A and B are shown apart, each in its own frame.
Chain A
């Protein structure tokens, strides 16, 4: 591995890791369902970047792109479904507060 490549890997890796942290932080801390989904999207961004990075470092940008594209599509569907769920919750609760959906416990 060339030195440049290592630096790129390191830089992008750290940045993606930071975004991962942001995403997880959001998932844990937020009380808004929609923002939780946005946090999910942020996480996906970081992961996408990781995959592209991996393809770039190994010279397999083709494969990585193929994976990333698939990933993006899947995540969109997930978000759509999740949004559907959130909207249904909203129609019940008239709220998107996370704390309103802690009925199932114990």
Chain B
């Protein structure tokens, strides 16, 4: 396998995308083309795994080189991306049937895969940004095809991520300037004052891609309108992988973040807030997709928190959580997709009792939900434990936030499971059937992996995660699970269960199990405001922008007035003055002339 093969993960999906467009009129061929492309890229990813390759092409110059580097970390992400791409394409083969935008969805999906692969492989900051920001276009396209109203969400997503990507562009420029090189693998510096600025800008790009607060607000909006596989594909899996990958790169390789750095605290704070705030929002949602989307935000908090601890245990936990999250969250979205496809709605009001109608979906949901809630022995449990441990070492407050998050996560999934799959079968859902095999298969596979990664957690940890940090960093660290923490976790989870039961009892339904929190004295106001988007950074930002633009507009008009108002008026004022002096009376003109003559004589004779 020569160096050229490193290009394959980028080229194959691209070619696949072209193929999809070319064959789109031939019924069924487009799915085939897409599947083929994803299979090929999966195979390539597997073959590339474990190799170290470098490849470079002449490109734009000025430090912008087309340099790709395949090494452990990127190969791992590559593999994960390929798996998800394949599974979701498979899922879509059934899900997208009969939807007019199918072609474009495959097209965007494959291009996104190519872009993510490119970004992961890139060893040049600009090249990475090229692929990274290129995702914007496909993101926009994928949301916008979702229907008449979807473009608003698409716009919102585009603006938020676009702005963050621009920040990252700035960060990259600064980093490149400080480091003197654009090659990622050659950059290694400690964040000084300017370096911290650069780090923050890069971090904005990274965590916004991962969907952390405060750059999250497009995700719930998109969840409503965008096609569900999109949610499973981009916000749930690929973007998390990419964002956390890059966050890990910047905080591990490019900038030597240490425990004492304020940047580390910053990251942890962001992580904690994200965990808590998002999960609190998730708790009260009454829509399958929206609830999941808030969790997609919340879980990012764990990863950011884990990486932010700057401790090996935390980092490993964060990265492990990244892959775990991608697994269970996409699985959850896929179950949501199945429900939507079969029941025709994702509103929890109208769902209920689907467990019997769609047993496999329900089981997959259970596994994934248990996983996300951190129930042992599923994979989520182990990664969370690692993060807890890291957080605890840095401060009890972070740990508290994480555990509290866990509590509410569990609570909200209990609510979700209860209201969607248990309870009474509503009339509308009488005829719901299990989803098609092509849709079930990916769910099953992912659910299985969840279990596998949980039970045999040493396998992914030692094969995938630990090599990322390298031997030196890990030296002297053992990841023995802290028993105390496990106990606490179990207690918390049990608490969540009890709480749920209690809540169901007092409110009378699973759906309303969180309502008492929703309408609790203090929370009520906060929630009301949150639902009216008072806290949405996007809306706040737009308000600020509005003020700026109004000011700018006034300045612009003022400048224009100088030309159209002031100058013209002044000229006409003078002009009219001069004109009215010409009265037509020649005596006056003679007087002028004589006075002029006097002046001339004064000047001429002055020098004598």
Stretch binding the partner chain, chosen from B3-11, B19-27, B288-296, B580-588: B580-588
CB distance from A50 to the nearest CB of B (A): 16
**Which of B580, B585, B586, B594 is within 8 Å of A106, CB to CB?**
B580
For B57, what are the chain A residues with a Cβ–Cβ distance below 8 Å?
none
For A105, what are the chain B residues with a Cβ–Cβ distance below 8 Å?
582-584
Query: Do A104 and B584 touch across chains, with their CB atoms under 8 A apart?
Result: yes
Tell me which of A27, A99, A106 has the highest count of chain B C-beta atoms within 10 A of its own C-beta. A106
Q: Report if B571 contacts A (CB, 8 A).
A: no
For A29, what are the chain B residues with a Cβ–Cβ distance below 8 Å?
587
Q: Beta-carbon contacts of B572-596 to A below 8 Å, as 1s and 0s?
A: 0000000110111111001100100
21 pairs across A/B with beta carbons < 8 Å? Answer: A24-B590, A27-B590, A28-B587, A28-B590, A28-B591, A29-B587, A98-B586, A98-B587, A99-B585, A101-B584, A102-B583, A102-B584, A102-B585, A103-B584, A104-B584, A105-B582, A105-B583, A106-B579, A106-B580, A106-B582, A106-B584
Interface majority SS on B: helix, strand, loop or mixed?
A: helix
**In the bound complex, how far is the Cα of B582 from the Cα of A105, in angstroms?**
6
Q: Residue on B with the closest CB to A31?
A: B587
Of the four ranges (under 10, 10 to 19, 20 to 34, 35 or more), the interface on chain A belongs to 10 to 19
B residues touching A (Cβ–Cβ < 8 Å)?
579-580, 582-587, 590-591, 594
Q: Residue on A with the closest CB to B579?
A: A106
For A24, what are the chain B residues with a Cβ–Cβ distance below 8 Å?
590, 594
Q: Residue on B with the closest CB to A102?
A: B584
For B586, what are the chain A residues with a Cβ–Cβ distance below 8 Å?
98
**In the bound complex, how far is the Cα of B586 from the Cα of A105, in angstroms?**
10
For B590, what are the chain A residues with a Cβ–Cβ distance below 8 Å?
24, 27-28
Interface majority SS on A: helix, strand, loop or mixed?
A: helix
Question: Total contacts A to B, CB within 8 angstroms?
Answer: 25
For B591, what are the chain A residues with a Cβ–Cβ distance below 8 Å?
28
A residues touching B (Cβ–Cβ < 8 Å)?
24, 27-29, 98-99, 101-106
CB distance from A21 to the nearest CB of B (A): 11
CB distance from B103 to the nearest CB of A (A): 73
CB distance from A100 to the nearest CB of B (A): 11
**In the bound complex, how far is the Cα of B584 from the Cα of A106, in angstroms?**
7
For B583, what are the chain A residues with a Cβ–Cβ distance below 8 Å?
102, 105
The 5 closest A-B pairs by CB, nearest first: A105-B584, A102-B584, A28-B587, A106-B579, A102-B585
For B584, what are the chain A residues with a Cβ–Cβ distance below 8 Å?
101-106
Q: Residue on B with the closest CB to A99?
A: B585
CB distance from A45 to the nearest CB of B (A): 18
CB distance from B582 to the nearest CB of A (A): 5
User: Can you name 20 extra interface pairs (CB under 8 A) apart from A28-B590, A105-B582, A105-B583?
Assistant: A24-B594, A27-B587, A27-B590, A28-B587, A28-B591, A29-B587, A98-B586, A98-B587, A99-B585, A101-B584, A102-B583, A102-B584, A102-B585, A103-B584, A104-B584, A105-B584, A106-B579, A106-B580, A106-B582, A106-B584
CB distance from A92 to the nearest CB of B (A): 16
Q: Residue on B with the closest CB to A105?
A: B584
Q: Residue on A with the closest CB to B582?
A: A105
Q: Residue on A with the closest CB to B576?
A: A106
CB distance from B354 to the nearest CB of A (A): 90
Tell me which of A29, A103, A105 has the highest count of chain B C-beta atoms within 10 A of its own C-beta. A105
**In the bound complex, how far is the Cα of B592 from the Cα of A27, in angstroms?**
13
For B582, what are the chain A residues with a Cβ–Cβ distance below 8 Å?
105-106
**In the bound complex, how far is the Cα of B591 from the Cα of A28, in angstroms?**
7
**In the bound complex, how far is the Cα of B590 from the Cα of A103, in angstroms?**
17
**In the bound complex, how far is the Cα of B583 from the Cα of A99, in angstroms?**
11
For A28, what are the chain B residues with a Cβ–Cβ distance below 8 Å?
587, 590-591
CB distance from A89 to the nearest CB of B (A): 13
CB distance from A76 to the nearest CB of B (A): 22
**In the bound complex, how far is the Cα of B591 from the Cα of A81, in angstroms?**
24
For A106, what are the chain B residues with a Cβ–Cβ distance below 8 Å?
579-580, 582, 584
For A103, what are the chain B residues with a Cβ–Cβ distance below 8 Å?
584
Q: Residue on B with the closest CB to A30?
A: B587
Q: Residue on B with the closest CB to A104?
A: B584
Q: Residue on A with the closest CB to B591?
A: A28
For A27, what are the chain B residues with a Cβ–Cβ distance below 8 Å?
587, 590
CB distance from B133 to the nearest CB of A (A): 64
CB distance from B569 to the nearest CB of A (A): 19
CB distance from B10 to the nearest CB of A (A): 77
For A98, what are the chain B residues with a Cβ–Cβ distance below 8 Å?
585-587
**In the bound complex, how far is the Cα of B585 from the Cα of A101, in angstroms?**
8
**In the bound complex, how far is the Cα of B583 from the Cα of A102, in angstroms?**
7
For B585, what are the chain A residues with a Cβ–Cβ distance below 8 Å?
98-99, 102
Q: Residue on B with the closest CB to A27?
A: B590
Q: Residue on A with the closest CB to B587?
A: A28
CB distance from B365 to the nearest CB of A (A): 89
